[in-house]
Structures are given as structure tokens and as C-alpha cells.
Structure 1
């Protein structure tokens, strides 16, 4: 499994406690549209991702991340920065 695939798998595991609707997660799953998360859920989830990967996701980055795949890409960049 590549680093990117492992990152995606970890992110999907982190999404599960917040996935109240049981949405099937893909690269294209959107946080606002598909998962219907409110801002509080997003903040809790971002904190979980930051803790898991020991990174900081800035508010500017969060604004640009709409899908699970985009988040995996952003985490990969932050891990190597």
C-alpha cells in the first residue's frame, strides 16, 4: 500500500464516527454535501486528523478542501513539508 493509499485509509477510518448517514466513502465524497457536516463537526474532525498525523491544517487550507480525496492529498503534502 502506498503512503497516499494508507493516508486515505486512515482518513476514512477517522470519518466513520462522524458518518451518521452511513455514506460510502470515496475520493469524491464531499464533507458538506454528501456527509452533511456542520461547522462544529468539521472542526472536531479536523482536530482528529491533525492529532492522528501530527500536522496543522490552516483555516485557508480547510476552505479549499471539499472532498475526502483532497484531504488525503493535503495531508500527504503536510506530512512531507
Structure 2
């Protein structure tokens, strides 16, 4: 799965169960600010993304990823 839009769509689908406030997702949606996720939710979500794409997202990468678009780009890069 190398198409960025497919990856974005899959990430959006993975976010849905964690999106308790029903926020409309965009590339600029932030996990901490817009979705108001705490650290436990982030860890659960990261585990789901890692399983879905069969990748490892390091703690350093997690610290730099703030938006849905940044996460999409990171997954694309990790799959390359």
C-alpha cells in the first residue's frame, strides 16, 4: 500500500474509534489539541497503526508527529 491517499484513509479509519468528540479530520488535525488525546490513547492508537501497517514508530518519531498529515507522511516513509 504505497498510495498516500490510501494510507491517509486507513489512518482516518483507525482514528474513528478513538475520535470521541466526532472531530472532522483533516491533514492538519492535531492529536493532542484537536482530538484531545491523552498519552494512553496515543499509545493505544500507535499500537493499532503499527499493527495495521506492520511498521515500528519509534518514541523519537512519536514526539515529532503532531498532525494526521505528519503521521501519514511518516507511514509512507517507513513503508518505503
TM-score, reference length from structure 2:
0.97
Match of residue 67 from structure 2: 67
- Give the gaps of 5 or more residues in structure 1: none
CA distance in structure 2 between the aligned counterparts of 1:3 and 1:64, rounded to whole angstroms:
22
Match of 1:78 in 2: 78
Equivalent residue, structure 2, for 1:23: 23
Task: State the 1:70 CA deviation.
Answer: 0.2
SS across alignment from 1:78? helix
Structure 2: stretches of 5+ with no match in the other structure: none
Alignment root-mean-square deviation, CA: 0.8
- How many equivalent residue pairs? 79
